[in-house]
A and B are shown apart, each in its own frame.
Chain A
Amino acid sequence: MPEEMPGEDSGSSRFRTTLIRVIIVQVIAIGLLLLLQLRYQP
């Protein structure tokens, strides 16, 4: 396995935090696009 680099822990924890944010942002973005379609597309 590759050697652990300095700062790896903070990198992994940032990955997890960002991952949660990614999911939230995608749900919001796709939800807004779906709303756009439902509201304005006859």
Chain B
Amino acid sequence: MHPINWLIVGVYVLWVVVDGIRKSKNTDTVSGYFLANKSLSWWVVGLSVMATQLSAVTMIGTPGQGATDGMRFIQLYLGLPLAMVILGVTIVPLLHGSGVFTAYEYLERRFDARTRTLTAFLFLISRGLSAGAIMAAPGVVFSAVFGIPLVWAVALIGVPTVIYTMIGGVQAVAWADVKQMILIVIVLVAIMIVIIVQMPVNPDEALRIAGATGRLKVFDFSFDLSERYTFWSGVIGGTFLMLSYFGTDQSQVQRYLAAKSTGEAKSSLLMSAYWKIPLQALVLLVGVGVFVYYQFVRPPLLYNPAQEAAVVAERGPAYDALQNDYAEAFTLRQAAAQAVADASGDDATVAMEVFVAREADIQTIRGEALAMVEDVTGEASGDTNYIFPRFVLYELPIGLAGLFIAGIFAAAMSSIAAELNALSTASVIDFYRRWMKPDADDAHYLAVSKGATAFWGLFACVVATYAATLGSLIEVVNRFGSFFYGSILGVFLLAMVPGAKSRGAFYGLIIGMATVGFVAFGTTIEYLWQNVIGAVVVLLVGVPLSKFVEDDLVDAGGP
């Protein structure tokens, strides 16, 4: 990468860290460190909520998904606005008004200590590992694209994030998120403009080319439970997923607990409701734009330079022959794409059919190249995550590429910082203060909190470093996470049912998770629906258990 691009990245990361440390004033109490003394404005919290959700995977993988699969991924977010509105009138007033530090702390007030401890424990396990996975995704891409060892790539992202999170607490995290969100939007808009300007066809023609291959099929109205993204799984399953994520996951709850009033906390969530779908549409459209751009500029046969180098070294002649076939197929597809752009009326249908056939030829050749990668490296084939970084570094002007890399850093740092901050909070508030040392002073808890942030940061870095070899394990962990997301939401919903008791909550949670585990492994029902199933089972089990079975523990009070 050009030195100017590196300079931009370096200056940006330094600015985030230094400003984060500057923001560490008034964080000498537990409330200041974890909740910013409930002083943040709605727009700061709102941007922080959005930045936390938007990880580097969104910046790297989602445009790649737009380029290869089109716009349909956006259906995942259809339930988000509704979820935010529901949270605004239910869980947000409940949590913000109750003066808790964590969502799980509220569960002890409403039910009992074991429900709190179990949910907090599940959060620590899943988010601790997912912080590593979130760090690994950009780390692996940086390592391959820049040719640096993975451990260095992980350290480049992890070390500055841990420093400002550890020193500045939630305040530093929130203000860094504001900068990061602004940078990410600027970068995406700038890249979209550059793509439009550099493409040899006009936007109308570009959209016709994209539409010919199905990439503009946004909505699928079929009601198929085994189809991952449909309009209905997005609206119904997506609503439950977003309710779980924003309503019960400490990494998000902590953002709006820091708002200066309940009203400001509600408004902060509505910012995501406002902008998430348009923003996600922009990210996917950038990917579709890259797809059209590459109809006229020959892309590499393999997007991952490290994999390409390995194949060239091992299978040089065979790969060269494939490259020749690819060059010929590209020329034919380019002509077919131009024909789609130029055609009108009945000619358009014929031109599209030819183009689709030429595109299929290209995909066949790419499939052979990816199979070669699998043979040579033993790694699973697929290089979707490398399409966008490769495009940015090779096709965009100097400066914009640096801003994009800074944007990836921003996206990674904002998500990881929020998770480390939340992990530290849950470790200290739900375990250390609750079970080990309930009567210490603020200075003591503050020191332990900073130590916990450093510990989780180190843990995430280690997981990220080994993520490449733990690929399948990470997948299992992510899947395991989805087992209890809906069930934890069910416990919070149960908390709002008058007369619900701790026994109903605890056993409802366990049966809910077991049911989702069975559905995940024993059926073809897609994961968005599992959130609905988990929440509903907890309610179906928890309500009658509360009504007909006496609690074996005394409720700790509550509303």
Return chain A residues, CB-CB under 8 Å to B559. 1
CA distance A21 to B267 in the complex (A): 12
User: In the complex, how many angstroms separate the beta carbon of A7 from the nearest chain B beta carbon?
Assistant: 5
Q: Which of A8, A34, A36 contacts B262 (CB 8 A)?
A: A8
CA distance A29 to B212 in the complex (A): 22
Residues of chain A contacted by B263 (CB below 8 angstroms) = 5, 7-12, 14-15
By the criterion CB–CB under 8 Å, are A29 and B267 in contact? Answer: no
On chain A, the residues within 8 Å of B266 by CB distance are: 11-12, 15
Q: Give Cα distance in the complex from A9 to B277, angstroms.
A: 29
Cβ of B85 within 8 Å of any chain A Cβ, yes or no, is: yes
Contact (A18, B270) CB under 8 Å given A1-B97, A26-B277: yes
Are the C-beta atoms of A25 and B274 separated by less than 8 Å? yes
Closest-by-CB residue of A relative to B265 is A11
Q: Which residue of A lies closest to B215 (CB)?
A: A41
Contact present for B207 and A42 (CB under 8 Å): no
**B264 contacts A by Cβ under 8 Å:** yes
Inter-chain contact B97/A3, CB cutoff 8 Å: yes
For window 250-266 of B, CB contacts with A under 8 Å fall at 260-264, 266
Q: Which residues of A contact B210 (CB under 8 A)?
A: 40
Which residues from chain B contact A12 at a C-beta distance below 8 Å?
A: 263, 266
Given A8-B261, A18-B270, A19-B270: A29 and B277 interface contact (C-beta under 8 Å): yes
Measured between beta carbons, the chain B residues less than 8 angstroms from A7 are 260-261, 263-264
Q: Are the CB atoms of B74 and A18 closer together than 8 Å?
A: no
Taking the closest CB of chain B, its distance from the CB of A40, in whole angstroms, is: 3
Give the residues in chain A near B99, CB-CB below 8 Å: 2
Chain B residues with CB under 8 Å of A8's CB are: 261-263
Are A33 and B212 in contact, with the CB atoms below 8 A?
no
| Assembly CA distance A8 to B264 (angstroms) | 8
What separation, in Å, do the CA atoms of A13 and B71 have in the docked complex? 35
Contact between B81 and A40, CB atoms less than 8 A apart: no
**Complex alpha-carbon distance, A2 and B266, angstroms:** 15
User: How far is the CB of B416 from the nearest CB of chain A, in Å?
Assistant: 29
State whether B264 touches A11 (Cβ < 8 A).
yes
Stretch at the interface among B216-224, B311-319, B544-552: B216-224
> In the complex, are the beta carbons of B217 and A15 less than 8 A apart?
no
A34 near B219: Cβ-Cβ < 8 Å: yes
- For B202-245 the 0/1 string (1 means CB < 8 A from A) is 00000110111010111100000000000000000000000000
Of A6, A18, A37, which is within 8 A of B261 by CB?
A: A6
Chain A interface size, under 10 / 10 to 19 / 20 to 34 / 35 or more:
20 to 34
Q: Which residues of chain B are within 8 angstroms of A33 by Cβ–Cβ distance? A: 71, 74, 218-219, 281
Q: B93 within 8 Å of A by Cβ?
A: yes
Chain B, range 323-359, C-beta contacts under 8 Å to A: 349, 352
Indicate if the CB atoms of A22 and B264 lie closer than 8 Å: no
Contact of B85 among A22, A29, A34, A40 (CB under 8 A): A22
Give chain A residues whose Cβ lies under 8 Å from the Cβ of B262. 2, 5, 8, 11
- Say yes or no: is B273 at the interface (Cβ < 8 Å to chain A): yes
Q: How far is the CA of A21 from the CA of B81 in the complex (A)?
A: 11
Q: Which residue of B lies closest to A11 (CB)?
A: B263
What's the Cα separation between A19 and B93 when bound, in Å? 16
Least CB separation from A40: chain B residue: B211
A21 to B133, CA, bound (A): 36
CB within 8 Å for A11 and B261 given contacts A33-B71, A37-B219, A41-B217: yes
Query: In angstroms, how far is the closest chain A Cβ from the Cβ of B180?
Result: 23
Contacts of B208 in A (CB 8 A): 40
| Closest chain B CB from A42 CB (angstroms) | 6
Alpha-carbon gap, A1 to B216, bound state (A): 48
Q: What A residues does B219 contact at CB under 8 A?
A: 33-34, 37
B278 contacts the other chain (CB 8 A): yes
Alpha-carbon distance A11/B85, docked complex (angstroms):
14
Instruction: Say if the beta carbon of B96 comes within 8 Å of chain A.
Output: yes
Residues of A within 8 A of B74 (CB): 33
Q: Which residues of A contact B78 (CB under 8 A)?
A: 30
Known: A7-B264, A15-B263. Contact between A25 and B278, CB under 8 A?
Answer: yes
Say which residue of B85, B207, B212, B217 sits within 8 Å of A19 (CB atoms): B85
Could you say which of A5, A26, A30, A42 contacts B212, with CB atoms under 8 Å apart? Answer: A42
* A41 and B267 in contact, given A22-B81, A30-B277 (Cβ under 8 angstroms): no
From A19, A23, A37, contact of B216 by CB (8 A):
A37
- Picked from A11, A21, A29, the residue with its CB within 8 Å of the CB of B278 is A29
State whether A42 touches B260 (Cβ < 8 A): no
A34 to B281: give the CA distance in the assembly, Å: 12
B26 at the A interface (CB under 8 A):
no
1/0 per residue B116-141: CB within 8 Å of A? 00000000000000000000000000
Q: Which residues of B contact A42 (CB under 8 A)?
A: 211-212, 349, 352
B85, B207, B277, B278: the one contacting A36 at CB < 8 Å is: B207
Contact of B96 among A2, A9, A34, A41 (CB under 8 A): A2
B274 and A2 form a contact (CB under 8 A): no
Residues of A within 8 A of B (CB): 1-3, 5-12, 14-15, 18-19, 21-23, 25-26, 29-30, 33-34, 36-37, 39-42
7 nearest CB pairs, A to B: A11-B263, A2-B97, A40-B211, A5-B261, A18-B270, A33-B218, A22-B273
